[in-house]
Amino acid sequence: MRHVVILGSTGSIGTQALEVIDSRRDQFDVVGLTAGGSQLDLLAAQVREFAPRLVAVPTEADAAALRALLPGTTTEIVGEGGNERAARMPADVVLNAITGAAGLLATLATMEQGTTLALANKESLVIGGRLVTDAAAPGQLVAVDSEHSAFAQALRAGRAKEVRRLILTASGGPFRGRTRAELADVTPEQALAHPTWTMGRVITINSATLINKGLELIEAALLYGVDLDDVTVVVHPSSDVHSMVEYVDGATIAQASPPDMKLPIALGLTWPDRVPDAASGYDWSVPRTWSFEPLDDEAFPAVELARTAGKAAGTAPAVYNAANEVCVDAFCAGDIGFLDITDTVEAVVMEHLSGEHVADADLTVEAVLAADAWARARATEIVARVAP
């Protein structure tokens, strides 16, 4: 029996994780759930269904509202600080499926507690950087992101010293093939229509700008200890090959499966063991073609900007992420255009690097949180100037 804590249980990843668990109740026991305050009805239904020992929401007001939905429950309901409380519960694995920088403290609490972390919330690793990797025991950090799960699987084919480079695949998003000029007028509705994956709002917009691939580039380097220049991004529209590892002799090992997050979620919950029937494989009796193309860095500069921020390390990745979170909200609210997202992130990152940047050697949680707050404020100012 694996005792599981799910942070962000009402989201795309969280609900799919509970579906994986639901059909295998003899193998998994849900001990803790947490979520934001926007879907308390769903969270209450999850509590009734899975009867965790603890459920947490961001504020005391959310907790009071959740209590009202769960009269007579034996589950402890907590407000502020609840993600960290849940992350410190005795458990075999904590799945962090929160969106954005809000997941950082829970990731660090899980590391400190020594529990295996199944990480979907890439932002916490990217912004925490070596604070997270230094705190992780060997094998404690397990990737849920499909590309990084693919790396973990492909890395089983050889030794660390035999790896030449990681090949990170990208679907290219809904605007693949467009020039920069052709991106100027795209709408939030168009950006939210991802060709291969159904996901939360932020990661879907990030997939359209390729900011998601930028975050994943830094995530890959941190998770597998490779140089940022040894991670190559390639566009693969159908999202069948989830990523690849190239070895020193020229062999490339790819992991492929029909796009379905249940496979990496299940593997993340039980790594290194596979969950039978977590997802389906291919029907090879029908013809199928997989294609690959280079990324157009001129139309989508977010990946190379992430490489710059990742190489600078320290507080730069936190600034990249926080400025983007502000821009995603502004774009979805109709306040800025699509190109303004990456342009603003670039302006804020460059300003940070020429000023208050804290280097990797001096990085602290306080410095990360301060850089995050500074970047949000700075991006908000720039966005206000751009807004109509």
Which residues are near ligand NAD by CB under 6 A? Answer: 7-14, 34-36, 58, 83, 97-99, 102, 120-123, 145, 197, 199-201, 203, 261
Q: Shortest gap between Cβ of 162 and ligand NAD (angstroms)?
A: 28
Q: Which of 255, 61, 78 is nearest to 169 (CA)?
A: 255
For Mg ion, the binding residues in 90-149 under the rule CB under 5 A are 145-147
Reduce the secondary structure of 317-360 to three states and give it as a string. HHHHHHHHHHHHHHHHCCCCCHHHHHHHHHHHHHHHHCCCCCCH
Secondary structure of residue 43 in the 3-state scheme: helix
197 binds, among Mg ion, ligand NAD, none (CB under 5 to 8 A by kind): ligand NAD
Residue nearest to ligand NAD (CB): 11
Select 207 or 315, whichever has its Cβ closest to Mg ion.
Answer: 207
For Mg ion, the binding residues in 145-184 under the rule CB under 5 A are 145-147
75 binds, among Mg ion, ligand NAD, none (CB under 5 to 8 A by kind): none
CA 7 – CA 10 distance, rounded (Å): 9
153 binds, among Mg ion, ligand NAD, none (CB under 5 to 8 A by kind): none
Strand 252-256: give its sheet, edge to edge. Answer: 252-256, 241-247, 163-170, 231-235, 293-294
Select 207 or 315, whichever has its Cβ closest to ligand NAD.
Answer: 207
270 binds, among ligand NAD, Mg ion, none (CB under 5 to 8 A by kind): none
Q: Shortest gap between Cβ of 16 and ligand NAD (angstroms)?
A: 8
Q: How many CB atoms lie under 10 A from the CB of residue 356?
A: 13
Select 63 or 382, whichever has its Cβ closest to ligand NAD.
Answer: 63
35 and 57 in contact (C-beta within 8 Å)? yes
Select 120 or 336, whichever has its Cβ closest to ligand NAD.
Answer: 120
Reduce the secondary structure of 265-283 to three states and give it as a string. HHHHHHCCCCCCCCCCCCC
- The contact set with Mg ion (CB under 5 A) reads 145-147
